[in-house]
């Protein structure tokens, strides 16, 4: 299995597919998912791009460091991965927590970015009390204690009804996570606040929202797009994981932007 070491020694699992000479496109997963959530986009784009998917720290096959994580660590993970693979510049597409990671990169590592896609995300994830309640539930009952609620926000009810096998896959990934990895990332999301920084982003940016998204409603996307000069904002008929629920229009919008 391919791994790269981050700045603090955390091993990150990754998958690199596509022509060696193609432009690099990095995909970053949401909290509670892994790199496989980008399968619909990878299938369509891997002949045109060098697709780099990875598991965020605490997720999937990546290491699960002890303690709390920070958005800076999540962003530095991406840079360490790119350095490991001798990738000088890349386009980046992140969803939810991955989208926050993308904002950090846009602020702090603009010289490494070609294009930026920020999907179903926010510059801040309030209230802190929500994260405290969720972390308490996980500490007391594991990921299974919150899986129904999380999956209900991930994808709309109609998608659940029509795609039980996909829902089962997401449930399996979530419930088999190491709780420490989930909790560490919750701490990062609880304290992150890039609202005063994202106006400095100069990378061409596409913001994507879902009109049924309860976790990061379209107003959050409006704010991000309004702060970044020249950013474009599109809204799909989807809940939180718009790349899964509306895979075809999501991928088309991504391809048009890139």
* Length, in residues, of the chain: 258
- Whole-prediction pTM value? 0.96
The residue ranges of the chain whose pLDDT is under 70 are none
Given this model, what pLDDT does residue 42 score? 97
CATH number at residue 225: 3.40.50.1820
DSSP 13-81: EEEEES-TTSPEEEEEPPTT--GGGGHHHHHHHTTTSEEEEEPPTTSTTS---SS---HHHHHHHHHHH
What is the CA angle 195-199-203, rounded to 5?
120
Displacement of CA 205 from its chain's centroid (Å): 15
Q: Give pLDDT tens digits for 156-206.
A: 999 999 999 999 999 999 999 999 999 999 999 999 999 999 999 999 999
93: containing domain: 3-257
Given this model, what pLDDT does residue 59 score? 98
Task: Return the structure tokens found at 103.
Answer: 């904002």
Given this model, what pLDDT does residue 1 score? 76
Element (H, E) at 92: strand 90-95
User: Phi/psi of residue 88, each to 5°?
Assistant: -75, -50
CB atoms within 10 A of CB 88: 9
When divided into structural domains, the chain yields a total of: 1
Q: Give 40: exposed, middle or buried? Use CB within 10 Å, 0-12, 13-18, 19+.
A: middle
193 beta partners: 124
């Amino acid at each position: 299995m391919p791994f790269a070491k981050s700045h603090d020694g955390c091993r990150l699992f990754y998958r690199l597919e596509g022509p060696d000479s193609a432009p690099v496109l990095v995909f970053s997963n949401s909290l509670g998912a892994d790199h496989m959530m980008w399968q619909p986009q990878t299938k369509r784009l891997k002949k045109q791009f060098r697709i780099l998917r990875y598991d965020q720290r605490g997720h999937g096959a990546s290491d699960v460091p002890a303690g709390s994580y920070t958005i800076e660590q999540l962003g530095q993970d991406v840079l360490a991965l790119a350095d490991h693979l001798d990738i000088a510049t890349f386009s980046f597409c992140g969803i939810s927590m991955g989208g926050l990671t993308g904002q950090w990169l846009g602020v702090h590592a603009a010289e490494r970015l070609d294009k930026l896609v920020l999907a179903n995300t926010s510059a801040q994830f309030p209230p802190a009390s929500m994260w405290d309640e969720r972390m308490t539930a996980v500490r007391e009952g594991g990921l299974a204690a919150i899986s129904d609620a999380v999956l209900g926000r991930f994808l709309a009810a109609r998608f659940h009804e029509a795609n039980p096998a996909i829902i089962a896959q997401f449930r399996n990934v979530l419930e088999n996570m190491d709780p420490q990895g989930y909790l560490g990332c919750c701490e990062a999301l609880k304290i992150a606040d890039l609202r005063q920084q994202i106006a400095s982003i100069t990378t061409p940016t596409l913001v994507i929202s879902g009109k049924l998204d309860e976790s990061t409603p379209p107003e959050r996307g409006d704010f991000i797009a309004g702060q970044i000069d020249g950013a474009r904002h599109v809204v799909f008929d989807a809940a939180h994981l718009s790349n899964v629920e509306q895979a075809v229009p999501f991928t088309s919008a991504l391809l048009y932007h890139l």
